[in-house]
Amino acid sequence: MHAREIRKGIHVIASVHWERRLFDSLIPLPDGTSYNAYLVRGSKATALLDSTDPVLRNDLLEALQDVRHVEYIVSQHSEQDHSGTIPDLLDRYPEAKLLCSKKAEDLLTTHLGVAADRIQVVEDGESISLGGKTLQFVYTPWVHWPETMCTYVPEDRCLFSCDFFGSHLATTDLYVTDQARVYEAAKRYYAEIMMPFRAIIQKNLDKIADCPFDIIAPSHGPVYDDPDFILDAYRDWVSPAIKNEVVLPYISMHGSTGRMVKHLIDALAREGVTVHAFDLAVTDIGKLAIALVDAATLIVGTPTVHVGPHPAIYYAAHLANLLRPKLKYAAIVGSYGWSSKAIEQIAGLIPNLKVEVLGTVLHKGVPNANIYAELDELAAAVAKAHNDDESVLTG
Ligand code: FEO
């Protein structure tokens, strides 16, 4: 897309990837995405912050066709969706220096083949003047790679944050116009890549609070001209508080596990617990990740396949283990034909989740009244654990 001005001398060039539906061959993108580069022009020098995914390199190169000189290219994050076109830009602008953090130097040379003599490492807190505009670099590691940094331009009170606060959203909106839509897209992104680094994200939030900004300009999705909206959301997501919610990924082959899950959902709802249930045969795994951000309890529902859990449950349990949500409680329910080790195997898949197991209900064949009573007891135990736990917001 053409360059659009967000402050005098500062333009965003958004490469909008309308048709992309999967990121890193892992993360569903139901609403596409965009890759934002930012052109910052001072009186003495011009800088380009980030680039675009190589698939859309021509979009960026065309938008820059009238920009004759770029003195600095800033790589805030080495992943290909932001740095993959940097080699093309270094060819286009042979006078340009590539600015990056110390840790990014290695990643940019090994992953993208950037020549070491084009790189100029900037330290945390270092500033470079463009003439009337200053680039101040703020290291913000682990959002979600170790080398990531933000760039602050104090003259314009703009914070350029790359993935941090980003939302996977293909849109022509320059600024956030639909907060609910951006909230979900940003939460999806946080859940899928940043949630495991919650403690460091909190430190990064504290760190950027030293920069008085009016605008957050991320490298995915629209620009925030009301930064409190996304700052409040992030503070909530990283806070120790959890919600009176159960995430219930399940799958059923012949109906028995499905009946148990349906009964349990109803029993939990009667106990006043909110349930986010996901039939893994059809679910968007990103929605599951979003639900994991706030929930107090994970309950897995599985049939037995060759003694163990269904393979879809392996995937979901492994994903939850990788994402390290705030969960404090867990339970397993399911069915089997003749024998099962599903409970032991699922427990072995989630060592990162420091959860208290509130119960297991595993049944041979079609569920009966006794099993439904056990599920009612499990629902009551979940509600009690939530009510007794001060970190669970039950109001
Ligand atoms: Fe948007 Fe980590 O790349």
Q: Do residues 233 and 260 both lie within one domain?
A: no
Whether ligand 1 lies within 6 angstroms of the CB of 82 is answered as yes
- Once rounded to an integer, what is the mean pLDDT over residues 145-160? 98
Q: Do residues 175 and 292 both lie within one domain?
A: no
Considering the domain boundaries, does residue 379 fall inside one? yes
- What Å distances lie between residue 218 and 19, 37, 163, 180, CA to CA? 20, 9, 6, 17
Give me the pLDDT at residue 379, please: 98
Atom of ligand 1 nearest to the CA of 166: 1
- Residue 296: Cβ-neighbour burial (10 angstroms; 0-12, 13-18, 19+): buried
- Residue 253: Cβ-neighbour burial (10 angstroms; 0-12, 13-18, 19+): middle
Q: Do residues 192 and 101 both lie within one domain?
A: yes
Q: Do residues 229 and 283 both lie within one domain?
A: no
The closest residue, in CA terms, to atom 1 on ligand 1 is 163
- Hey, what's the torsion of the CAs at 52, 70, 1, 100, to 10 degrees? 30
Distance 233 CA to ligand 1 centre (A): 19
Q: Do residues 197 and 318 both lie within one domain?
A: no
Distance 147 CA to ligand 1 centre (A): 12
Give me the pLDDT at residue 24, please: 84
Q: Do residues 230 and 374 both lie within one domain?
A: no
The answer to whether residue 341 scores a pLDDT higher than 80 is yes
Considering the domain boundaries, does residue 395 fall inside one? no
Distance 183 CA to ligand 1 centre (A): 18
The pair of three-digit structure tokens given for residue 9, joined into one six-digit string: 């001398």
Give me the pLDDT at residue 322, please: 96
Distance 30 CA to ligand 1 centre (A): 17
- Once rounded to an integer, what is the mean pLDDT over residues 365-385? 97
Q: Do residues 136 and 213 both lie within one domain?
A: yes
- Percent of the chain beyond pLDDT 90? 97
The closest residue, in CA terms, to atom 2 on ligand 1 is 79
Distance 180 CA to ligand 1 centre (A): 22
Pair 261, 248: CB distance under 8 Å: yes
Give me the pLDDT at residue 222, please: 98
Report how far residue 198's alpha carbon sits from residue 237's, in angstroms, rounded to the nearest whole number. 8
Overall pTM > 0.85: yes
Whether ligand 1 lies within 6 angstroms of the CB of 133 is answered as no
Q: Do residues 336 and 210 both lie within one domain?
A: no
Give me the pLDDT at residue 27, please: 86
Q: Is 276 helix (H, G, I), strand (E, B) or coil?
A: strand
Report how far residue 272's alpha carbon sits from residue 158's, in angstroms, rounded to the nearest whole number. 44
The answer to whether residue 395 scores a pLDDT higher than 90 is no
Q: Is 252 helix (H, G, I), strand (E, B) or coil?
A: coil
Q: Per-residue pLDDT tens for 183-234?
A: 999 999 999 999 999 999 999 999 999 999 999 999 999 999 999 999 999 9
Give me the pLDDT at residue 257, please: 97
Whether ligand 1 lies within 6 angstroms of the CB of 79 is answered as yes
Atom of ligand 1 nearest to the CA of 144: 2
Whether ligand 1 lies within 6 angstroms of the CB of 20 is answered as no
Distance 290 CA to ligand 1 centre (A): 18
Number of domains in the chain: 2
Of 283, 253, 248, nearest in space to 263 by CA: 248
Report how far residue 65's alpha carbon sits from residue 57's, in angstroms, rounded to the nearest whole number. 12
Report how far residue 65's alpha carbon sits from residue 366's, in angstroms, rounded to the nearest whole number. 67
Q: Is 320 helix (H, G, I), strand (E, B) or coil?
A: helix
Whether ligand 1 lies within 6 angstroms of the CB of 53 is answered as no
Q: Do residues 316 and 219 both lie within one domain?
A: no
Give me the pLDDT at residue 294, please: 97
Give me the pLDDT at residue 207, please: 97
Distance 76 CA to ligand 1 centre (A): 10
Atom of ligand 1 nearest to the CA of 163: 1
Distance 244 CA to ligand 1 centre (A): 31
pLDDT range class, residue 394, cuts 50, 70, 90 = confident
Domain range holding 261? 246-387
Give me the pLDDT at residue 26, please: 84
Q: Residue 376 is part of a domain; what is its CATH number?
A: 3.40.50.360
Atom of ligand 1 nearest to the CA of 193: 2
Of 79, 123, 115, 81, nearest in space to 98 by CA: 115
Give me the pLDDT at residue 23, please: 87
- What's the mean pLDDT when you consider all of the chain? 96
- Once rounded to an integer, what is the mean pLDDT over residues 115-127? 97
Within a 13 Å sphere around the CA of 7, how many CA atoms are in the beta-carbon half?
A: 24
Q: Per-residue pLDDT tens for 166-176?
A: 999 999 999 99
Whether ligand 1 lies within 6 angstroms of the CB of 41 is answered as no
Atom of ligand 1 nearest to the CA of 80: 3
User: Which residues, including other chains, have CB under 8 Å from residue 174's CB and lie 6 or more apart?
Assistant: 4, 6, 12, 222, 223
Q: Do residues 226 and 166 both lie within one domain?
A: yes
The pair of three-digit structure tokens given for residue 362, joined into one six-digit string: 């595993």
Q: Per-residue pLDDT tens for 20-79?
A: 999 888 889 999 999 999 999 999 999 999 999 999 999 999 999 999 999 999 999 999
Distance 391 CA to ligand 1 centre (A): 32
